[in-house]
Amino acid sequence: MKQRPSFPARLATGGGPVQGGAGRRMEPVRPGGPMPRPALAPMLRADSAGLTSDATAVRHAMVRKLAAQGIADRAVLDAMAQVERHHFVDSALRAQAYEDTSLPIGLSQTISKPSVVARMIALLREGQPGPLGRVLEVGTGCGYQAAVLSRVATEVYSIERLRALHEKARENLRTLRLPNVHLLFGDGMAGFAKGAPYAGIIAAAGGENLPQAWLDQLAVGGRVVAPVAGAGGQALQQALVVIERTPSGLRQTLHEAVHFVPLKSGVA
Protein backbone atom coordinates (compact mmCIF):
# COMPACT_ATOMS: atom_id res chain seq x y z
CA MET A 1 0.00 0.00 0.00
CA LYS A 2 1.41 3.33 -1.01
CA GLN A 3 2.50 6.00 1.43
CA ARG A 4 -0.35 8.12 2.74
CA PRO A 5 -0.51 11.79 1.70
CA SER A 6 0.24 14.66 3.99
CA PHE A 7 -2.55 16.59 5.74
CA PRO A 8 -4.47 18.87 5.95
CA ALA A 9 -5.78 18.71 2.40
CA ARG A 10 -8.53 20.30 0.34
CA LEU A 11 -10.19 18.47 -2.50
CA ALA A 12 -11.17 19.74 -5.91
CA THR A 13 -14.75 21.01 -6.17
CA GLY A 14 -15.76 19.14 -9.30
CA GLY A 15 -17.80 15.92 -9.08
CA GLY A 16 -16.67 12.69 -10.70
CA PRO A 17 -18.58 10.83 -13.41
CA VAL A 18 -21.21 8.32 -12.40
CA GLN A 19 -21.88 4.77 -13.47
CA GLY A 20 -25.38 3.57 -14.29
CA GLY A 21 -26.83 0.11 -13.96
CA ALA A 22 -28.22 -1.62 -10.92
CA GLY A 23 -26.65 -5.08 -11.07
CA ARG A 24 -28.38 -8.25 -10.00
CA ARG A 25 -30.09 -8.80 -6.66
CA MET A 26 -28.31 -11.23 -4.35
CA GLU A 27 -29.22 -12.60 -0.96
CA PRO A 28 -27.71 -10.63 1.95
CA VAL A 29 -24.60 -12.28 3.33
CA ARG A 30 -24.40 -12.98 7.04
CA PRO A 31 -22.08 -10.68 9.00
CA GLY A 32 -18.41 -11.63 9.20
CA GLY A 33 -17.03 -13.89 11.86
CA PRO A 34 -15.60 -12.79 15.19
CA MET A 35 -12.19 -11.26 15.61
CA PRO A 36 -10.11 -10.57 18.70
CA ARG A 37 -11.78 -7.96 20.88
CA PRO A 38 -9.91 -4.68 21.43
CA ALA A 39 -9.71 -3.15 24.87
CA LEU A 40 -12.96 -1.55 25.96
CA ALA A 41 -11.40 1.70 27.20
CA PRO A 42 -13.97 4.36 26.26
CA MET A 43 -13.20 7.46 24.26
CA LEU A 44 -13.45 9.95 27.12
CA ARG A 45 -13.95 13.67 26.85
CA ALA A 46 -14.20 16.48 29.34
CA ASP A 47 -17.80 16.12 30.56
CA SER A 48 -21.14 14.41 30.12
CA ALA A 49 -23.34 17.45 30.72
CA GLY A 50 -26.86 17.00 29.43
CA LEU A 51 -26.92 13.21 29.69
CA THR A 52 -29.28 12.34 32.51
CA SER A 53 -28.22 8.68 32.89
CA ASP A 54 -24.87 7.03 33.33
CA ALA A 55 -23.42 7.26 29.82
CA THR A 56 -21.46 4.02 29.89
CA ALA A 57 -24.38 1.92 31.11
CA VAL A 58 -26.78 3.43 28.59
CA ARG A 59 -24.27 3.01 25.75
CA HIS A 60 -23.68 -0.65 26.61
CA ALA A 61 -27.45 -1.20 26.73
CA MET A 62 -27.57 0.23 23.20
CA VAL A 63 -24.89 -2.23 22.10
CA ARG A 64 -26.83 -5.16 23.58
CA LYS A 65 -29.86 -4.07 21.55
CA LEU A 66 -27.72 -3.94 18.41
CA ALA A 67 -26.58 -7.49 19.06
CA ALA A 68 -30.18 -8.59 19.60
CA GLN A 69 -31.11 -6.97 16.28
CA GLY A 70 -28.58 -9.13 14.46
CA ILE A 71 -25.25 -7.27 14.51
CA ALA A 72 -22.89 -10.19 15.09
CA ASP A 73 -19.50 -8.63 14.30
CA ARG A 74 -17.77 -8.37 17.67
CA ALA A 75 -15.36 -5.70 16.46
CA VAL A 76 -18.24 -3.46 15.38
CA LEU A 77 -20.08 -3.95 18.66
CA ASP A 78 -16.93 -3.16 20.62
CA ALA A 79 -16.36 0.00 18.57
CA MET A 80 -19.94 1.12 19.18
CA ALA A 81 -19.40 0.51 22.90
CA GLN A 82 -16.23 2.60 22.95
CA VAL A 83 -17.37 5.74 21.12
CA GLU A 84 -19.43 8.16 23.18
CA ARG A 85 -22.24 9.21 20.83
CA HIS A 86 -23.57 11.84 23.22
CA HIS A 87 -20.46 13.99 22.62
CA PHE A 88 -21.38 14.30 18.92
CA VAL A 89 -24.85 15.81 19.36
CA ASP A 90 -26.04 19.13 20.73
CA SER A 91 -26.37 19.33 24.50
CA ALA A 92 -30.17 19.61 24.29
CA LEU A 93 -30.30 16.21 22.55
CA ARG A 94 -27.82 14.28 24.66
CA ALA A 95 -30.52 12.49 26.65
CA GLN A 96 -31.58 10.90 23.32
CA ALA A 97 -28.05 10.04 22.18
CA TYR A 98 -28.32 6.28 22.76
CA GLU A 99 -31.81 5.84 21.38
CA ASP A 100 -31.97 4.18 17.97
CA THR A 101 -32.90 7.35 16.16
CA SER A 102 -31.27 9.88 13.89
CA LEU A 103 -30.73 13.34 15.38
CA PRO A 104 -30.23 16.76 13.75
CA ILE A 105 -26.70 18.13 13.61
CA GLY A 106 -27.44 21.33 11.68
CA LEU A 107 -27.58 22.39 8.02
CA SER A 108 -30.46 19.94 7.41
CA GLN A 109 -28.12 17.02 8.15
CA THR A 110 -28.44 14.26 10.75
CA ILE A 111 -26.34 11.80 12.70
CA SER A 112 -27.45 8.34 11.58
CA LYS A 113 -29.20 5.84 13.81
CA PRO A 114 -26.77 3.64 15.77
CA SER A 115 -28.31 0.57 14.12
CA VAL A 116 -27.62 1.99 10.65
CA VAL A 117 -24.02 2.92 11.52
CA ALA A 118 -23.39 -0.55 12.95
CA ARG A 119 -25.06 -2.29 10.01
CA MET A 120 -23.13 -0.40 7.35
CA ILE A 121 -19.77 -0.91 9.07
CA ALA A 122 -20.56 -4.59 9.56
CA LEU A 123 -21.29 -4.88 5.82
CA LEU A 124 -18.03 -3.05 5.08
CA ARG A 125 -16.10 -5.51 7.26
CA GLU A 126 -17.89 -8.67 6.19
CA GLY A 127 -15.48 -11.54 5.72
CA GLN A 128 -12.50 -9.62 7.14
CA PRO A 129 -10.50 -11.69 9.65
CA GLY A 130 -8.88 -8.59 11.16
CA PRO A 131 -8.99 -4.79 10.93
CA LEU A 132 -9.80 -3.14 7.63
CA GLY A 133 -7.07 -1.26 5.82
CA ARG A 134 -7.69 2.26 4.55
CA VAL A 135 -11.30 3.39 4.51
CA LEU A 136 -12.85 6.37 2.73
CA GLU A 137 -15.92 7.90 4.36
CA VAL A 138 -18.03 10.23 2.23
CA GLY A 139 -19.98 12.59 4.47
CA THR A 140 -18.19 13.25 7.76
CA GLY A 141 -21.17 14.98 9.35
CA CYS A 142 -20.47 15.46 13.05
CA GLY A 143 -17.61 12.93 13.04
CA TYR A 144 -19.31 10.11 14.94
CA GLN A 145 -19.06 7.42 12.27
CA ALA A 146 -15.44 8.36 11.58
CA ALA A 147 -14.67 7.75 15.26
CA VAL A 148 -16.33 4.33 15.11
CA LEU A 149 -14.47 3.49 11.90
CA SER A 150 -11.18 4.43 13.56
CA ARG A 151 -11.61 1.42 15.83
CA VAL A 152 -12.00 -1.11 13.00
CA ALA A 153 -9.70 0.30 10.29
CA THR A 154 -6.01 1.15 10.10
CA GLU A 155 -6.73 4.58 8.53
CA VAL A 156 -9.85 6.62 7.89
CA TYR A 157 -10.12 9.40 5.30
CA SER A 158 -13.35 11.30 5.83
CA ILE A 159 -14.65 13.92 3.38
CA GLU A 160 -17.28 16.57 4.10
CA ARG A 161 -18.62 19.04 1.50
CA LEU A 162 -20.19 21.46 4.01
CA ARG A 163 -17.52 23.59 5.65
CA ALA A 164 -19.52 24.21 8.83
CA LEU A 165 -19.92 20.48 9.42
CA HIS A 166 -16.27 19.86 8.56
CA GLU A 167 -15.30 22.34 11.27
CA LYS A 168 -17.78 20.82 13.72
CA ALA A 169 -16.30 17.37 13.16
CA ARG A 170 -12.78 18.74 13.68
CA GLU A 171 -13.88 20.21 16.99
CA ASN A 172 -15.68 17.02 18.07
CA LEU A 173 -12.72 14.80 17.23
CA ARG A 174 -9.89 17.07 18.36
CA THR A 175 -9.72 15.91 21.97
CA LEU A 176 -10.03 12.24 20.99
CA ARG A 177 -6.59 12.46 19.35
CA LEU A 178 -7.22 9.77 16.73
CA PRO A 179 -4.00 9.58 14.70
CA ASN A 180 -5.57 7.35 12.04
CA VAL A 181 -8.43 9.73 11.17
CA HIS A 182 -7.86 12.40 8.49
CA LEU A 183 -10.62 14.97 7.90
CA LEU A 184 -10.90 16.50 4.44
CA PHE A 185 -13.01 19.38 3.15
CA GLY A 186 -14.12 18.84 -0.43
CA ASP A 187 -16.41 17.14 -2.92
CA GLY A 188 -16.88 13.55 -1.80
CA MET A 189 -18.26 12.48 -5.18
CA ALA A 190 -14.70 12.76 -6.51
CA GLY A 191 -13.38 10.51 -3.74
CA PHE A 192 -9.80 11.08 -2.65
CA ALA A 193 -7.42 9.56 -5.17
CA LYS A 194 -4.26 10.31 -3.16
CA GLY A 195 -5.33 7.86 -0.47
CA ALA A 196 -6.43 5.10 -2.84
CA PRO A 197 -6.76 2.18 -3.17
CA TYR A 198 -9.25 1.70 -0.35
CA ALA A 199 -10.25 -1.47 1.44
CA GLY A 200 -13.66 0.13 2.01
CA ILE A 201 -15.71 3.14 0.98
CA ILE A 202 -18.78 4.10 3.01
CA ALA A 203 -21.22 6.87 2.14
CA ALA A 204 -23.68 8.81 4.30
CA ALA A 205 -25.67 10.15 1.34
CA GLY A 206 -27.37 8.49 -1.59
CA GLY A 207 -27.86 9.19 -5.29
CA GLU A 208 -29.23 7.24 -8.22
CA ASN A 209 -25.80 5.84 -9.09
CA LEU A 210 -22.45 5.41 -7.42
CA PRO A 211 -19.78 7.85 -8.62
CA GLN A 212 -17.29 6.15 -10.92
CA ALA A 213 -14.47 7.73 -8.91
CA TRP A 214 -15.38 5.56 -5.91
CA LEU A 215 -15.24 2.38 -7.96
CA ASP A 216 -11.95 3.43 -9.53
CA GLN A 217 -10.43 3.99 -6.06
CA LEU A 218 -11.56 0.65 -4.62
CA ALA A 219 -8.94 -2.04 -4.03
CA VAL A 220 -9.40 -5.61 -5.21
CA GLY A 221 -11.26 -7.30 -2.38
CA GLY A 222 -12.58 -3.92 -1.19
CA ARG A 223 -16.21 -2.91 -0.74
CA VAL A 224 -18.39 0.14 -1.22
CA VAL A 225 -21.37 0.39 1.13
CA ALA A 226 -23.79 3.15 0.19
CA PRO A 227 -27.47 4.02 -0.14
CA VAL A 228 -28.66 4.14 -3.74
CA ALA A 229 -31.97 5.68 -4.83
CA GLY A 230 -34.09 3.43 -7.02
CA ALA A 231 -32.05 0.35 -6.11
CA GLY A 232 -35.21 -1.41 -4.92
CA GLY A 233 -37.04 -0.77 -8.19
CA GLN A 234 -38.73 2.47 -7.09
CA ALA A 235 -37.28 5.80 -8.18
CA LEU A 236 -37.65 7.51 -4.79
CA GLN A 237 -36.73 4.58 -2.56
CA GLN A 238 -33.22 4.11 -1.23
CA ALA A 239 -31.64 0.79 -0.39
CA LEU A 240 -28.23 -0.20 0.91
CA VAL A 241 -26.01 -1.50 -1.85
CA VAL A 242 -22.70 -3.31 -1.45
CA ILE A 243 -20.29 -3.28 -4.40
CA GLU A 244 -17.31 -5.61 -4.07
CA ARG A 245 -14.33 -5.52 -6.41
CA THR A 246 -13.27 -9.08 -7.17
CA PRO A 247 -10.37 -10.20 -9.39
CA SER A 248 -12.94 -10.81 -12.12
CA GLY A 249 -14.88 -7.56 -11.78
CA LEU A 250 -17.55 -5.84 -9.70
CA ARG A 251 -20.23 -7.74 -7.78
CA GLN A 252 -23.33 -6.03 -6.39
CA THR A 253 -25.52 -7.06 -3.45
CA LEU A 254 -28.78 -5.33 -2.59
CA HIS A 255 -29.85 -5.02 1.05
CA GLU A 256 -32.60 -3.34 3.06
CA ALA A 257 -34.36 -0.04 2.45
CA VAL A 258 -32.83 3.05 4.14
CA HIS A 259 -33.29 6.80 4.15
CA PHE A 260 -30.33 9.18 3.75
CA VAL A 261 -29.88 12.75 2.60
CA PRO A 262 -29.26 13.20 -1.17
CA LEU A 263 -25.74 12.83 -2.51
CA LYS A 264 -24.58 16.19 -3.90
CA SER A 265 -21.50 17.47 -5.66
CA GLY A 266 -19.52 20.61 -4.94
CA VAL A 267 -18.80 22.33 -1.63
CA ALA A 268 -20.71 24.84 0.43
Catalytic residues: 112
Where do the DSSP E strands lie in 103-204?
103-106, 109-111, 132-138, 153-160, 181-185, 198-203
Residues 231/255, Cβ–Cβ less than 8 Å? no
User: How many beta carbons lie within 10 A of that of residue 66, not counting itself?
Assistant: 23
The set of residues, in sequence order, having a beta carbon less than 8 Å from that of 266 and lying 6+ positions away, is 13, 14, 15, 161, 187
225 burial via Cβ count (<10 Å: 0-12, 13-18, 19+): buried
Rg (C-alpha) for the chain, rounded Å, is 17
- Residue type at 199? A
CB 211 within 8 A of CB 32: no
Q: At what angle do helices 74-82 and 114-125 cross, to 10 degrees?
A: 140
Is the distance from CB of 223 to CB of 159 less than 8 angstroms?
no
List Cα–Cα distances, 180 to 121, 171, 173, 230, in angstroms: 17, 16, 12, 35
81, amino acid identity: A
